[in-house]
């Protein structure tokens, strides 16, 4: 099955309106830092409706795969923006090709799973920017009991950002297995004979494996013997070094009786002079 990945596109900016509070810079920083699909997968929904059914118009339309934060310039001001990358379903690609659902809005939880930090828990696509525009979001923030979004949230602390127009492009990606999976598959293929031309070739493979096993079976004992020999050799060298140092010390302290004493000094008339 073919897989596709989108370009990076902007989904939120600090200071933007949500249906509860103004989006803070720190939330975007935390959302970019914390996002991990294995921790919690942020799915793509229509108008933030989360259906429990696998079919129908409000099923999931893909997944957010990556998030990053970058500064952008808007009307002469530098602001922090959040960008997302998604893996769409075939239905979302079809909608996009038909120029449908071209506005996006994220659902951000400012205290995800009681961590006290923000996390993206969903992304919505819509055709009507007014449905998630500043006016309706501001109204919802002021009168939460009358909010049209009150039953759509992931949690009590999550909120929807205003919808922004998004230009999505998709490229096909190759879903390569990991190196370990490739090696396992290769060995399986060899052992099952998928790549062997006949039983004789498989027998040769078995013989080669047995030969390698026979060659390396004594390797642990050989390594242990080498290690013991190195340890014994070091002990012997250390002992010889100590003995040599002791010998040098003793020789330095021993008088050499083979040397003759200096004869006493005499004066001009042969008298022995006394040293003063």
Q: Which of 26, 63, 91, 105 is catalytic?
A: 105
Q: For residue 204, indicate whether it is catalytic.
A: no
Q: Where does residue 235 rank: exposed (0-12), middle (13-18), buried (19+ CB within 10 A)? A: exposed
Q: For residue 48, indicate whether it is catalytic.
A: yes
Tally of residues, the chain: 276
- 3-state SS track over 27-81: HHHHHHHHCCCCCCCCEEEECCECCCCCCCCCCCCEEEEEEEEEEEEECCEEEEE
User: Under a CB-based contact definition with an 8 Å cutoff, are residues 99 and 168 in contact?
Assistant: no
Of 18, 19, 58, 63, give the one whose Cα is nearest residue 40: 63
Q: Which of 6, 18, 26, 48 is catalytic?
A: 48
User: 266: Cβ–Cβ under 8 A, 6 or more apart, which residues?
Assistant: 272, 273
Q: Which of 6, 19, 140, 153 is catalytic?
A: 19
Q: For residue 215, indicate whether it is catalytic.
A: no
| Residue positions annotated with a catalytic role | 19, 48, 105
């Amino acid at each position: 099955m073919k897989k596709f990945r989108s370009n990076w596109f902007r989904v939120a900016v600090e200071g933007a309106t949500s249906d509860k509070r103004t989006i803070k810079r720190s939330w975007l920083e935390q959302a970019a830092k914390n996002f991990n699909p294995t921790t919690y997968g942020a799915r793509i929904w229509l108008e933030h409706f989360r259906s429990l059914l696998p079919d129908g118009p409000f099923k999931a339309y893909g997944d957010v795969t990556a998030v990053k934060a970058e500064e952008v310039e808007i009307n002469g001001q530098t602001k922090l923006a959040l960008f997302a990358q998604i893996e769409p379903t075939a239905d979302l690609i079809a909608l996009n090709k038909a120029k449908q659902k071209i506005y996006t809005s994220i659902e951000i939880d400012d205290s995800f799973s009681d961590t006290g930090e923000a996390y993206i828990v969903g992304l919505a696509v819509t055709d009507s920017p007014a449905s998630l525009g500043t006016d309706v979001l501001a109204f919802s923030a002021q009168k939460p009991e009358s909010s049209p979004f009150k039953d759509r949230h992931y949690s009590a602390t999550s909120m929807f950002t205003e919808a922004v127009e998004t230009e999505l492009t998709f490229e096909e990606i190759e879903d390569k297995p990991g190196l370990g999976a490739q090696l396992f598959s290769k060995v399986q293929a060899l052992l099952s004979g998928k790549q062997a031309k006949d039983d004789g070739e498989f027998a040769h493979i078995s013989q080669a494996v047995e030969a390698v096993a026979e060659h390396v079976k004594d390797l642990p004992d050989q390594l242990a013997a080498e290690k013991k020999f190195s340890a014994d050799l070091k002990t012997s060298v250390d002992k010889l070094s100590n003995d040599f140092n002791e010998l040098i010390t003793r020789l330095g302290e021993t008088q050499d009786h083979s040397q003759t004493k200096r004869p006493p000094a005499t004066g001009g008339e042969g008298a022995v002079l006394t040293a003063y």
